């Protein structure tokens, strides 16, 4: 570790159009400040300003809050210039800002708070080494999440519109957004389009779309349900029909985009050589989400550092010789939720035989509950153990093997 007297700390408050940097020394004295545009041609100005305060034998360390968004270009530039760059969790700098008696809010003060966190915890902060491969994967994962969210909204709108036209629509198909269902809603957006349609004609239409899974029986059921519902026709019916058809077109487009994005994600994950999918509860999308949030696993020398980054490591709070560990609310909350979801999947059981999918973690969970842990606390224990597993799998690129269940000691 560098001696603090020989270091200066540069905190950068990042924005879309411009960045603000504040330089402090080891005693938290403010040495300088600079504002520069968020574009590569302006970045040398930051190094020039920092160089003014660097004496012989001194080292500068830079702290950035958002190395995957607005600050990515700066982080890449600083790494290319062989600078020491750290990623500062916004929760830490925000807590530092609120710890003062008078709470301020400005770009300058925010940057100084980042610098102060950097000064106090340089070895506890992960190195910021943005790699294009991980960044591209992160962008694909983010795009997929946006489309999935948009798809959920479209499905809700489709349900709403169909409830006006077909009161019994839920009995028509098992999935309202399935291939056959979407084709039906597009061809027959309201019951009036079924007027004069023979059962055999509808059966032929369904048969072709469903690869002969649906036919005469389903056609008869739909026509019967429409008749039981009664007349739902209203003024401007053609406009309402257009809305249904428009929603169907958008759902189809999203489904096609999801397929394309998942193919791109699959190819990137395959290129990385990880075998995370060999573990219970991890598919290629979950693997991509984990890798996108963690980035280069070599940023974290130990599982403990990864656990702190994910907000899974407990925080000790004590006073007067007494204290206890509390659940951390800091760290990367997206990664925290991924580990939580993965922990819950380890406790799943098979539908038929009701056997645990991962006997090792299921047994570990039961042990924790047996010694007095609550169910939530036991899940957190599994999360922490999973951090060790994921850290090992990513560093070694090995396949996951379920460990043998320890034999219970005779009571």
User: Would you place residue 207 in the very low, low, confident or very high pLDDT band (cuts 50, 70, 90)?
Assistant: very high
| Element of type H or E holding 396 | helix 375-396
Per residue in 257-301, pLDDT (tens digit) is: 999 999 999 999 999 999 999 999 999 999 999 999 998 998 899
pLDDT of residue 338: 97
CB-CB contact of 62 with 10 (8 Å) = yes
Q: Is the dihedral of CA 164, 170, 172, 175 positive or negative?
A: positive
CB-CB contact of 10 with 115 (8 Å) = yes
pLDDT of residue 324: 64
- 346: helix, strand or coil: helix
User: Which range of residues forms the domain containing residue 12?
Assistant: 4-130
pLDDT of residue 212: 84
Task: Note whether 381 and 303 are same-domain residues.
Answer: yes
Higher pLDDT: 316 or 175? It is 175
pLDDT of residue 185: 97
Round the average pLDDT of the chain to a whole number and report it.
Answer: 91
Most confident region among 52-66, 129-143, 240-254 by mean pLDDT: 240-254
Give me the mean pLDDT over the 244-267 stretch: 97
| Element of type H or E holding 237 | helix 237-272
DSSP code string of 361-387: HHHHHHHHHHTT--HHHHHHHHHHHHH
Task: Note whether 226 and 299 are same-domain residues.
Answer: no
pLDDT of residue 319: 58
| Phi, psi values for residue 402, rounded to 5° | -65, 120
CATH number of the domain that 158 lies in? 1.10.287
Q: Looking at the chain, how many residues does it have?
A: 411
- 157, pLDDT greater than 90: yes
Give me the mean pLDDT over the 170-199 stretch: 95
Task: Note whether 139 and 168 are same-domain residues.
Answer: yes
Give the C-alpha separation, 138 to 66, whole Å. Answer: 13
Task: Note whether 209 and 294 are same-domain residues.
Answer: no
Number of domains the chain is built from: 3
Most confident region among 64-78, 127-141, 363-377 by mean pLDDT: 363-377
Higher pLDDT: 200 or 66? It is 200
- Computed over its alpha carbons, how large is the radius of gyration of the chain? 28
pLDDT of residue 124: 79
| Phi, psi values for residue 37, rounded to 5° | -70, 155
Least confident of 192-206, 211-225, 311-325, 329-343: 311-325
Cβ contacts of residue 358 below 8 Å, gap of 6+? 280, 281, 346, 347, 348, 402
Q: Which of 268, 285, 316 is the last residue of a domain?
A: 268
User: Would you place residue 204 in the very low, low, confident or very high pLDDT band (cuts 50, 70, 90)?
Assistant: very high
Per residue in 215-233, pLDDT (tens digit) is: 899 999 999 999 999 999 9
Task: Note whether 212 and 145 are same-domain residues.
Answer: yes
Task: Note whether 324 and 298 are same-domain residues.
Answer: yes
Higher pLDDT: 235 or 130? It is 235
Per residue in 323-344, pLDDT (tens digit) is: 566 667 778 899 999 999 999 9
Task: Note whether 264 and 306 are same-domain residues.
Answer: no
Give, as one character, the DSSP assignment of residue 198. Answer: -
Taking 3-state DSSP, the helix, strand and coil percentages for the chain, each rounded to the nearest 5, stand at 55, 10, 35
- 354, pLDDT greater than 50: yes
Q: What percent of the chain has pLDDT over 70?
A: 95
Give me the mean pLDDT over the 342-362 stretch: 91
Higher pLDDT: 128 or 185? It is 185
Give the C-alpha separation, 400 to 46, whole Å. Answer: 45
In a domain, 401, yes or no: no
- 170, pLDDT greater than 80: yes
Cβ contacts of residue 161 below 8 Å, gap of 6+? 240, 243, 244, 247
Burial (0-12, 13-18, 19+ Cβ within 10 Å), 363: middle
Task: Note whether 139 and 263 are same-domain residues.
Answer: yes
- CA count, 13 A, side-chain hemisphere, 203: 10
Task: Note whether 167 and 201 are same-domain residues.
Answer: yes
Q: Which of 246, 268, 290 is the last residue of a domain?
A: 268
CB-CB contact of 147 with 56 (8 Å) = no
In a domain, 406, yes or no: no
């Amino acid at each position: 570790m560098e001696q603090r007297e020989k270091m200066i700390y540069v905190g950068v408050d990042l924005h879309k159009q411009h960045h603000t940097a504040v330089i402090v020394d080891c005693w938290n004295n403010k040495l300088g400040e600079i504002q520069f545009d968020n574009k590569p041609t302006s970045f040398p100005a930051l190094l020039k300003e920092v160089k003014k305060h660097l004496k012989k034998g001194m080292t500068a360390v830079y702290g950035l809050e958002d190395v995957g968004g607005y600050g990515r270009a700066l982080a890449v530039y600083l790494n290319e210039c062989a600078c020491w760059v750290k990623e500062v969790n916004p929760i830490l700098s925000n807590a530092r800002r609120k710890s003062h008696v008078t709470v301020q809010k400005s770009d300058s003060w925010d940057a100084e708070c980042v610098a102060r966190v950097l000064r106090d915890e340089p070895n506890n902060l992960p190195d910021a080494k943005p790699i294009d491969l991980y960044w591209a994967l992160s962008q694909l994962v983010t795009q997929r999440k946006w489309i999935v969210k948009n798809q959920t909204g479209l499905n809700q709108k489709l349900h709403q519109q169909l409830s006006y036209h077909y009161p019994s629509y839920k009995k028509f198909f098992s999935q309202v957004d399935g291939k056959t269902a979407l084709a039906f809603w597009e061809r027959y957006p309201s019951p009036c389009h079924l007027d004069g349609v023979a059962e055999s004609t509808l059966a032929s239409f369904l048969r072709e779309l469903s690869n002969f899974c649906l036919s005469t029986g389903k056609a008869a059921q739909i026509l019967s349900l429409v008749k039981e519902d009664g007349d739902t026709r209203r003024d401007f019916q053609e406009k309402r029909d257009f809305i249904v058809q428009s929603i169907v077109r958008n759902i189809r487009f999203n489904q096609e985009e999801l397929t394309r994005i998942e193919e791109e994600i699959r190819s990137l994950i395959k290129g990385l050589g990880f075998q995370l999918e060999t573990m219970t509860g991890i598919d290629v999308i979950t693997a991509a989400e984990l890798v996108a949030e963690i980035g280069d696993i070599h940023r974290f020398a130990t599982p403990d550092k990864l656990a702190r980054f994910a907000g899974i490591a407990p925080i000790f709070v004590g006073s007067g010789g007494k204290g206890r560990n509390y659940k951390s609310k800091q760290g990367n909350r997206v990664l925290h939720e991924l580990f939580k979801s993965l922990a819950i999947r380890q406790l799943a059981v098979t539908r038929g035989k009701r056997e645990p999918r991962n006997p090792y973690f299921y047994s570990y969970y039961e042990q924790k509950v047996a010694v007095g842990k609550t169910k939530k606390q036991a899940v957190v224990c599994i999360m922490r153990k999973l951090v060790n597993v994921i850290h090992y799998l990513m560093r070694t690129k090995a396949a996951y093997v379920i460990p043998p269940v320890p034999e219970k000691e005779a009571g």
